[in-house]
Amino acid sequence: MKRLNILAINVLFLLVGFFGTAFGQNTSNYDYVKAFDPAFYQKNGTEYRSASGEPGPKYWQNKASYRISARLNDDTREITATVKMDYTNNSPNKLDFLWMQLEQNMFKDNSIGNAIIPLTNSRYGAKGEEFDGGYKIKSVKVAGVDVKYLITDARMQVYLPEVLNPNGGRLQMTIEYSYIVPQYGSDRTGILDARNGKIFAIAQWYPRVAVYDDVMGWNTVPYTGPGEFYLEYGDIDVDITVPSNHFVVLGGELLNPEEVLSPAQQERWKEAKTSDQTVIIRTAQEAAQAFANKDGKYVTWKYRLENTRDVAWATSSSFIIDGARINLQGGKTALAMSAYPQESSGGNAWERSTEYVKASIENYSKRWFNYPYPVAVNVASNVGGMEYPAIVFCNARSRGQALWDVTDHEFGHIWFPMIVGSNERLHAWMDEGFNMFLNDLSTQDFNNGEYYEGPQDANNLALSLTNPILEPVMTAPSGMNERNIGVLAYYKPAFGLKLLREVILGPERFDLALKTYINNWAYKHPTPDDFFHTIENVSGDNLAWFWRGWFQNNWRLDQAVTRVINNGSGAIITIDNLEQLPMPVIVEVTTRSGKTDRLTLPVEIWERNKSWTFQFDADEEIIKVQLDPDKVLPDFNPGNNRWTK
């Protein structure tokens, strides 16, 4: 989902003054037994999920492949379609029924999602639009035979005519259905009015099987807007029939370019695949002519995407299309593409989109894991920012840094959760937060830091990131106050990973651990414990204190200098941990001549202490002691971090 801004939160905090070597009394709320309790993990490793963080020797997951034929009526906004699902039960359990997710049913008047939308402005729902929303299911067949099913809100339980056997049992289900595309669909799908024809950004557009896993069995948490998606992997073939003046883009390989592209466009398409510079494939003039020449005829576009958890697409007569080659590791390539209307071009706007797509994907492929898809498509739409395999929807009005930020963020989601397939509906931080962490590194690298704003003051950030009104990061998004989702799903987990990389573990150990996690769980379904175990096993550190404080609880950090006594060989310095979150301590000492020196104390000093006293050696009098001099720690009360003589 799109990158968010932290909400302004006014927090009252105490500033403590210090004079000489004597300080006011500090009351510590720190409990080291609670912070370093070794019993963090609630279960041991199993044959499915190893305690090392790897998939176990008997790890399994089910497979779902789809063949979808769809037709769009751009006047009525109706999609009529048939989806055929090939489903393989690799679990050790027999299945008597399947659960399907019907996300479009959120837009029914009587849905749970509609019922919980507040009166104040919300990103979720249909922005008050009144229309006949939700799926109309015409038929459900298994092996060609009509079967019984029951729809409950945004879920459908399909009763199987015979048991689906474990360890490789297969079935084919066919569903005929239709639905009206919402004008604004929870900022994930919708329709944008453009000068040369409406832009349809189509997602959550076919019934999808719910995940059946070794953690929860059937994952049937309903779609209500905030929580995103959790899906099985497979191959998807799509035939999309649209008005003949439309251009369809989809996250997959175009199978019939000779039927849908003009000869000139085919040549430009081929040129873009080999060019490091952006090549126009469909011009603004061609888009305008297409809009003017609507003839009532239809044409079918055919696409295929392999080893994917989802597919989305967009179509319009107004699209300008451009592209360039993406250079991947091992000599592989892909095609970066952008689809946008004429009014989105110019003034450092969407004419740079393909440049951004190319740079973002090349960066993540080099740092973490090779991009797996044949194309990467950025679509200008009325969706603020939303990600799908090989295609993303971004705001058509974005330009400059805003366009870079949203493009880089949405394509970062290819790694989390498209490649590493975590359960977004329960653990939003495992895709949004991880991705924002990647985005910070990518933005530093892009075009010599063109849009990089420099390091942030973590002391100031702490006022928002650890505000007592917040729920814990590991709260499901449906259980977060909507105003807190930006902090809890995006910024706080991202900053937590930055702390791990830059302060606690260091880049070398952290990067190896994260790459190991990505490689081990590519195209699989990890849980939070799998991530925690992997980072600990690869880095060699027990980090239960960090997971417990930053992710499982909303603990705060307040380190303080409480006493400095100069002696003949330097000074004896006392520091306190005043709140529940422990952290390493970074100490900068200044002597009478102006010389500065630094010392880093490990977090282990707080394993059995609320206060720590140590000798700092110096050959002259110490006149200043400063904790966290670079403001890299989330200390919400930095006023007690300094002592001066």
H/E run at residue 201: strand 199-202
Mean pLDDT, range 18-30, rounded to an integer? 56
Task: Tell me which residue of 74, 4, 314 sits closest to 189, measured CA to CA.
Answer: 314
Mean pLDDT, range 374-390, rounded to an integer? 97
Percent of the chain with pLDDT over 90: 90
Q: What per-residue confidence (pLDDT) applies to 2?
A: 62
DSSP per residue, 471-495: PPTTS-GGGS-GGGHIIIIIIHHHH
116-124 own/partner pairs: CB under 8 Å, 24+ apart: 116/224, 117/225, 118/482, 122/225, 122/482, 123/186, 123/187, 123/225, 123/384, 123/482, 124/186, 124/187, 124/224, 124/225, 124/226, 124/482
For residues 450 and 447, give the distance between their C-alpha atoms in angstroms, rounded to a whole number.
Answer: 5
DSSP per residue, 416-444: IIIIS---TTT-GGGTHHHHHHHHHHHHH
Q: What per-residue confidence (pLDDT) applies to 3?
A: 57
Beta strands (DSSP E) in 272-395 are 279-282, 298-308, 313-316, 320-327, 333-340, 375-381, 385-388, 391-395
Task: Please give the C-alpha separations between residue 471 and each of 77, 468, 491, 551, 552, in angstroms, as whole numbers.
Answer: 39, 8, 14, 10, 9
For residues 312 and 292, give the distance between their C-alpha atoms in angstroms, rounded to a whole number.
Answer: 27
pLDDT band at 117 (very low <50, low <70, confident <90, very high): confident
Q: What per-residue confidence (pLDDT) applies to 9?
A: 32
pLDDT at 114 over 90: no
Task: Tell me which residue of 212, 104, 206, 237 sits closest to 160, measured CA to CA.
Answer: 212
What pairs with residue 333 in β-bridges?
327
269-277 own/partner pairs: CB under 8 Å, 24+ apart: 269/323, 272/322, 272/323, 272/324, 272/325, 272/335, 272/337, 273/323, 273/325, 273/333, 273/335, 274/325, 275/324, 275/325, 276/324, 276/325, 276/327, 276/358, 277/324
pLDDT at 373 over 60: yes
For residues 95 and 92, give the distance between their C-alpha atoms in angstroms, rounded to a whole number.
Answer: 10
Mean pLDDT, range 129-147, rounded to an integer? 95
Task: Tell me which residue of 117, 151, 385 sits closest to 225, measured CA to CA.
Answer: 117
Q: Are 64 and 90 in contact (CB under 8 A)?
A: no
Q: What is the mean pLDDT of the chain?
A: 94
pLDDT at 139 over 50: yes
Tell me the residue length of the chain.
645
pLDDT at 302 over 70: yes
What pairs with residue 345 in β-bridges?
none
Token readout for 34 is: 């609670």
Lowest-pLDDT range of 224-228, 287-291, 439-443? 224-228
Lowest-pLDDT range of 195-199, 476-480, 612-616? 476-480
Task: Tell me which residue of 595, 41, 124 sits closest to 386, measured CA to CA.
Answer: 124
Tell me: the pLDDT tens digits for 166-186? 999 999 999 999 999 999 999
Q: What per-residue confidence (pLDDT) applies to 468?
A: 96
List strands edge to edge, sheet with 320-327.
279-282, 320-327, 333-340, 375-381, 391-395, 385-388
Token readout for 178 is: 């239709």
Residues contacting residue 611 through CB under 8 Å, at least 6 positions apart: 28, 562, 574, 575, 576, 577
Mean pLDDT, range 635-641, rounded to an integer? 97
Lowest-pLDDT range of 125-134, 336-345, 597-606? 125-134
pLDDT band at 125 (very low <50, low <70, confident <90, very high): confident
Tell me: the pLDDT tens digits for 242-266? 999 999 999 999 999 999 999 999 9
Q: What pTM, to 2 d.p., does this model score?
A: 0.94
Q: What per-residue confidence (pLDDT) applies to 19?
A: 30
pLDDT at 15 over 70: no
Q: What per-residue confidence (pLDDT) applies to 4?
A: 53
Lowest-pLDDT range of 25-34, 144-153, 163-172, 565-574? 25-34
For residues 157 and 147, give the distance between their C-alpha atoms in angstroms, rounded to a whole number.
Answer: 11
Tell me: the pLDDT tens digits for 312-355? 999 999 999 999 999 999 999 999 999 999 999 999 999 999 99
Q: How far apart are the first and last CA of the chain?
A: 50
